[in-house]
Every structure is written in C-alpha cells, then in structure tokens.
Amino acid sequence: MKLLLLSLQSNASLVGLKYIAANARAHGHDVKILLLPGYLESELHPVVEDFIREFSPHLIGLGLMSIEFYPAKNLTRLLKEKFDIPVIWGGLHVILKPDECIRYTDYVCSGEGENAVVSLLEHLRDKGRQAVPDIPNIWVNDRGNIIKKEALPEVDLNSLPIIEYLPDYFYGFHKNEIYNFAKRPKLFRSYALYGGTCHMMITTRGCPFYCGYCANAYTMTVFGKKIRKRSVESCIEELKLVKKDPYVLYINFEDDWFFSHNREWMKQFCEEYRKHINLPFMVRVFPGVLDREKLFMLRGAGLSLVIMGVQTGSDRVNFEIYNRKVKFSSVEKAAELISESKVAPYYEMIVDNPYETEEDEMESINSMAKLKRPYTISLAHLTFFPGTLLTERAVKEKIVDPEAYLTRYMVKIDKTYFNKLLYMTPYIPRLLIGYLNKPEKARSIIHPILLNVLFFIVKRSLEPAVFFFVLTRGLNYNINWTMRTVLGNWKSALAKVLFNFLGKSDMEFDKGLELARKNMPALFEK
C-alpha cells in the first residue's frame, strides 16, 4: 500500500509525520512525505497534482496544528476535486477537535497515529474503502454518518522504529516545483528550524501537570498523566544514524519532561552519549523539579542550552489563572542552578493575558529582572486552546474569541509597552527597568520614547550579542563550534531580527491566511 503524508506547516521539522512514515514503512508500506508550506491556494497546483497522480497513493494523510486548520480544510477540498483517494487528518488539532475535523475529511485519528494508520492501510488493502473500518482511534465519515471509536492503548515508544534526520522519501514544494529534500539538502535546510543544524527528537511522551492554558491538559484525557519513556538503547540508536549527517551540529530534545528520567537512565545515557555521539544538545526543564545532579551529569555529556518555561513572574497569575502550582522562588532556584552549570539559559514567558492586571505585568517584569544574568527570553501570546480550563473560563466570561487560536501564531505577540519592557529585562540595566516599569497613568512622554529606542537597540544588537555569549559559554568557549552553530543558524537568526518575533516563513503564512480570508470567505464559514 502507498501512503502520502502532507504537511502545511511553515518549516520542515516534522517529527510526528516522520514517526507515522517510519512505522508504516516498517510494516512494508511505501511512503512519501510532502511539505506544502502554508499552501492556501484556490486551485491545486499542476505540479502537486502530477506528483500525487504519479505516486498514486491509496491513502493521503494530513498532519496539522491548529494554525493549519483552514489550510487543511482547503487542501482537502482541492484533493477531493481531483482524486478519489481517502484522506485522513491527524495531529494535535485533530485530538483537540475531532468532532469538527471529521466533517471535512474521510477519517480522523483522534489519538496517537503510528499503529492506527498502519491498521487503516491494512483495512483498505484487505477490505476496500467501502467497508467501514473498525479501528480504535479512527473516526469515520461514512457519507455524512460519523462513526466514532475509542482511543487505542498507548503506544510503546520502544516498539516504534527510529526516525531519520533527512529521509530519502521527504519532498518539498518550492517555487512551483517539487524537490526531493535528500537530493537537495541545502533546500531542506532553508525550511528546517535553526537552519537544519539540529535534529529534533523525543525521549518521552506525556505530562503530569494540568496547566490551565496548555493543550496537554486536554490531551491528558486521551493519553493520561503517565510519562512514557524510551530506552537509552533506542535513543542512542537513533542518534548514531543522525550523526552520520555532517551538517547536524547539535540535538534538540523536545520532551516536556526530559528530567523525568531517573538517575540510572541519565547515567547510562550520558556515558553512551559521550562515547558514541558527543554533540552539543539542548533540553527543556520544569523549574520545580530541576535536579542538580542530573543537570551537571548532562552538562558533562554535552548539554549546552536549557529551555525553561517560566510563563509569568506573578504568583497570583500562576496559581489563580494558570493553575500552575509553581512559585517564582522555584524559578529563582532553578535559574541559579542553570547559571552555576554555565549552560545557555533560555526562558519562556506568556504574554497578552486578558486576566493580567498592570500590577501583575509589573510584578512579572520585576521578578524576571532579579534573575541572574546572562540569559535570553522568549515571549508567546496566550493562546486559548479548546478543552483547557482557562479557555472554558474565558469563553464563559465572553472575554475571548473561541476561534482565534485557528489563525494566530503563539509567537505573534501584541506590541504593548509592557511586552517590550519584559522582552528587554535580560539586556538593559536594572535601574533603567525600574524607571520604565510604571503603570500607564504614571508615565511621562519620555517613557514610551525611551522604551522604543531601547527596544530597537536591544532587538538589533544587544540580544544577538548576549545570545552569542551565552551560546559560546554553553559550548565551553569552543569558538570553532560556536561559529559553526552561528553560521548554520544565521538565516533563522536574521529572520527573527528582521521580522520581529515571527520568522519570514511564518510571516508569509500569516499574510496568506489574511489574504485567503478576503478572497475565499466561504472557507472560514462553519
């Protein structure tokens, strides 16, 4: 059987689709992945049509995040106009809203898709399309009759095949042509995150926390709170294959809970990683559970950058609004450990929260200004994902558009006074932060002028300089490795400087959505 997997996202880092593809191939099926970045056209391009017709798949799969819902809806319509091929949707947005998604496609996968998609391919092969499949996780739209199925048991991560950095069956639509990325690695790197210098991988799935704003709070109802973990052997096997590509400079572990591995796992992993891989890597940490022994163990194995979700510097917002039971004092302790380890710190914050007061925003800025420097910071727009506690509250109180999450990137933040000041807290003198951190009624005409001048300077010079320093320190002052990383990332970094918080490809996707809303209004109707 032949499976074509399509992605509409703006970058080529498709960990989820790679797992679907690898597992289908391991079961003997022919698979191709095609990246159609931001594709939102009124007609199917002839090149895309020819590619699909030549491959002649038995099933087409679309993986989508919420921002890709309308492009997926549009593309499915175009596919249906040209081909009589069943289409299945999967991904986080489908898990969040299966009842809505199933209206526009033949099947949806309401949970993990690796085994479910294989079962569907085998059903189509053995029983044909007319027979309604009875497969856990697979919902069916049988000519308007919606048939729902319970979720599959959780996938054993060690049973899945390893994924590749750049599979030879990965294609991309670029300037009205389709290219095999493996044969055009330079083109692949232009679409990949961080210039393609890192391999994105996971060692765990799951999260035990029920944060009010997080989509994981809803997916918990599907997958439970249990954190599933890969063996050290499985991880190292994947990394050995990845390391064969000379362009991979470091590894990006995307796990929310990498530190959930016990000390025995960490010790074995670090020994094997140093022995066989020996590349710099980055991990994500949760401030309340950061373990000193594990941190320094990883540091000795090559850990160079730590991403920590801080979200807010206000305990009131954390506890009362976000249902995130983490005091800022825990953040301070974690930041001290990170600073002591001399890895590069990268702290994530949530802004544009309608429940925050000016006092909350000022407290958040003051709290972040206390953290030991140097560090860098990232801001994200508060997105009200369906099914979360905070969304239910906000919709009930009619203070949020329940559909806004479908058309707005999380990194597309409002350019407010406090957002700009928060963004600058790692880079300007604390005395200056104190002067600028005033409520609107207490500001003079000088405050916004000075803030905007400083923001321009920080964004164009101070922030890149600080990041270069912390990265160099995180790489143990290895100038050669630092320069390779910087040169590999320069296009991504330049895009952030030129286009503010969105990258160039995200900006194009964003503009495409706005244009489609004007030219194809029916697409946005329910």
366-394 pLDDT, tens digit each: 999 999 999 999 999 999 998 888 999 99
Alpha-carbon gap, residue 183 to 159, rounded angstroms: 30
271 or 219, greater pLDDT = 271
- Give yes or no for residue 422 having a pLDDT over 60: yes
For helices 69-82 and 46-55, the axis angle rounded to 10 degrees is 70
- The Cα–Cα gap between 61 and 317 comes to 40
pLDDT at 494: 46
CA–CA separation, 35 and 21 (whole Å): 13
* DSSP states of 247-307: T--EEEE--TTGGGS-HHHHHHHHHHHHHHT---EEEEE-GGG--HHHHHHHHHHTEEEEE
Task: Assess whether pLDDT exceeds 70 at residue 499.
Answer: no
Q: How big is the chain, counted in residues?
A: 526
CB neighbourhood size of 315 (10 A): 17
Strands 303-311 and 281-285: parallel
* Confidence label for 478 from pLDDT (cuts 50, 70 and 90): confident
**pLDDT confidence bin for 519, thresholds 50/70/90:** confident
- What's the chain's average pLDDT? 91
User: pLDDT at position 262, please?
Assistant: 95
| Token pair in block for residue 429 | 């003198």
Cα–Cα dist 38/43, whole Å: 14
Least confident of 48-52, 223-227, 255-259, 407-411: 223-227
Cα 465 to chain center, whole Å? 25
Strands 170-174 vs 30-35: parallel, antiparallel or unpaired: parallel
Q: How far apart are CA 523 and CA 53, in angstroms?
A: 25
Residue 237 has pLDDT above 60, yes or no: yes
Q: What is the mean pLDDT of residues 3-16?
A: 94
Q: 80-94, 307-321, 484-498: which range is least confident on average?
A: 484-498
Question: What local confidence, expressed as pLDDT, does residue 487 receive?
Answer: 66
The per-residue pLDDT for range 272-307, each reduced to its tens digit, is 999 999 999 999 999 988 999 999 999 999 999 999
pLDDT for residue 195: 80
Bridge partners, residue 205, by sequence:
228
Judged against a pLDDT cut of 90, whether residue 6 lies above it is answered with: yes
Residue 500 has pLDDT above 60, yes or no: no
Q: Are 195 and 490 in contact (CB under 8 A)?
A: yes
pLDDT of residue 497: 45
pLDDT, residue 495, reads: 46
| For residues 338-358, average pLDDT | 95
Least confident range from 16-25, 134-143, 146-155: namely 146-155
Q: Averaged over 411-420, what is the pLDDT?
A: 94
More confident residue, 106 or 223: 106
- If pLDDT is split at 50, 70 and 90, which confidence band does 444 have? very high
> What is the rounded distance in angstroms from the CA atom of residue 431 to the CA atom of residue 120?
62
Mean pLDDT of 242-262: 92
Q: Tell me what pLDDT residue 488 has.
A: 63
pLDDT band with cut points at 50, 70 and 90 for residue 489: low
Selection from 28, 17, 26, 42 nearest residue 92 by Cα: 17
Residue of 380, 436, 44 lying closest to 213 (CA atoms): 380
Sheet holding 138-142, edge to edge: 145-147, 138-142, 107-109, 87-90, 59-63, 2-7, 30-35, 170-174, 177-180
Neighbouring C-beta atoms of residue 287, cutoff 10 Å: 22
What residue ranges define each of the domains in the chain, with the CATH number in brackets? 2-157 (3.40.50.280), 192-510 (3.20.20.70)
Over the stretch 148-187, which tens digit does the pLDDT of each residue have?
A: 988 776 789 999 999 999 999 999 999 999 999 999 999 9
pLDDT over 70 percentage in the chain: 95
What was the pLDDT predicted at 153? 64
Spell 53-92 as b/e; 16+ CB within 10 A means b.
Answer: eebebbbbbbbbbbbbbbbbbbbbebbeeebebbbbbbbb
Query: Which has the higher per-residue pLDDT, 397 or 226?
Result: 397
